[in-house]
Amino acid sequence: MTLQIHPLHPNFAAEVTGLAINRPLTQTEIAAIEAGMDRHAVLVFRDQPLTDDQQLAFSRNFGTIEITLARQMAKPGDTRLREEMGDISNLDANNQLRARDDARRLYALGNRLWHADASFRAEGATYSLLSARIVPGSGGNTEFADMRAAYDALDAKTKAEIEDLVTEHSIAFSRGELGFAEFNQEHSAKLNPIRHPLVLTHPVTGRKSLFLSAHIGGIVGWPVPEARAFIRDLTEHATQRQFVHAHQWRVNDLVMWDNRTTMHRARRYNDAAEIRDLRRASLRGAGPYVPQALAAE
């Protein structure tokens, strides 16, 4: 088997064939995947049945696993998977469909907004790796948008205007957009805004990208309504169809993406009747990229 990378879209996203990822990889294979990520930002591996252990072992080739905020905030006993696995499913701890008004279901609906994972954390995230174990009969695609192509397509004036802007990200903002506010008092420190540059330069390729996310609620030094209106404009620009690739899930797909250079969102499906069991590992980023606000500010 030879590892091959086949582009899926003119700008980004590619499928990797000729590699089984449920076993230890060689340094050459790891380097080829990293180079593929630098170039394509989203890589799809099909027909890769994985246990949770195998998914975590594959993920650790590329960095350190982080524990998701959803998991940190979950009520004891309301979890189905081990701590390192992000549960991107509509199932509860007993493998039953979550009720319509289940708080974790409502929290998870935030994934329908265009976002980058963990952008509400100072360290951010590099890659996320999502594996499909059960997929619904229809709907439930994941869409990806290429933030490098979106940056490149901005006019020179806008590029100059945004070059040094710093945004503020909080999970409270993205959830608030959907009217979800059931955060427990004990987690309030996790809701504090985190600062990130609006333009990121990729550490390996040097390419610039728009670092957008539904978690952005402000731009440092800007009045809030002006900041939010501008972020909406940029997001609308960055998610035009020419920058988007839709992944239609099959069982045993693994998709990995770079949260520094892409955004993604979940699409609807009939989650009251059909099971969708996806499991995610995400890797800690190298942030903070800019100084954070002082507590008293």
Beta-carbon contacts of residue 218 (< 8 Å; ≥ 6 apart): 167, 168, 193, 224, 227, 228
Nearer to ligand OGA, 11 or 174 (CB): 174
> What x/- string results for residues 72 through 91 when contact with ligand OGA is judged by CB under 6 A?
----------------x---
Distance of CA 232 to the CA centre of its chain: 18
Beta-carbon contacts of residue 79 (< 8 Å; ≥ 6 apart): 71, 87, 93
Query: Which of 11, 59, 111, 262 contacts ligand OGA by CB under 6 A?
Result: 111
From the list 100, 103, 105, 65, the residue with the least C-alpha distance to 88 is: 105
Q: Least separation, in Å, of the C-beta of 115 and Mn ion?
A: 6
Q: Which does 121 bind (CB under 5 to 8 A by kind): ligand OGA, Mn ion, none?
A: none
Nearer to ligand OGA, 195 or 280 (CB): 280
Alpha helix (H) residue ranges in the chain: 27-40, 52-60, 69-73, 103-108, 147-152, 156-162, 171-177, 224-238
Nearer to Mn ion, 162 or 264 (CB): 264
Q: Which does 266 bind (CB under 5 to 8 A by kind): Mn ion, ligand OGA, none?
A: ligand OGA
Residues in region 103-142 near Mn ion by CB under 5 A:
117
Distance CA 25, CA 16 (A): 14
Nearer to ligand OGA, 139 or 153 (CB): 139
Query: Which of 84, 87, 117, 168 contacts ligand OGA by CB under 6 A?
Result: 117
Query: Which of 171, 278, 281, 283 contacts ligand OGA by CB under 6 A?
Result: 278
Burial class of residue 212, CB neighbours in 10 A (0-12, 13-18, 19+): buried
Tokens found for residue 139: 């709907």
Tokens found for residue 263: 């955004």
Rg of the chain over CA atoms, in angstroms? 19
Give the number of residues in contact with ligand OGA, rule: CB under 6 A.
10
Answer yes or no whether residue 142 interacts with ligand OGA by CB under 6 A: yes
Q: Which does 48 bind (CB under 5 to 8 A by kind): Mn ion, ligand OGA, none?
A: none
Q: Least separation, in Å, of the C-beta of 267 and ligand OGA?
A: 7
Q: Which does 130 bind (CB under 5 to 8 A by kind): Mn ion, ligand OGA, none?
A: ligand OGA
3-class DSSP string for 230-287:
HHHHHHHHHCCHHHEEEECCCCCCEEEEECCCEEEEECCCCCCCCCCEEEEEEEECCC
Q: In what order do the strands lie in the sheet with 166-169?
A: 194-197, 166-169, 216-219
Residue sitting closest to ligand OGA (CB) = 266
Q: Least separation, in Å, of the C-beta of 295 and ligand OGA?
A: 29
Query: Which of 5, 69, 116, 130 contacts ligand OGA by CB under 6 A?
Result: 130
Binding site for ligand OGA (CB under 6 A): 88, 111, 117, 128, 130, 142, 264, 266, 278, 280
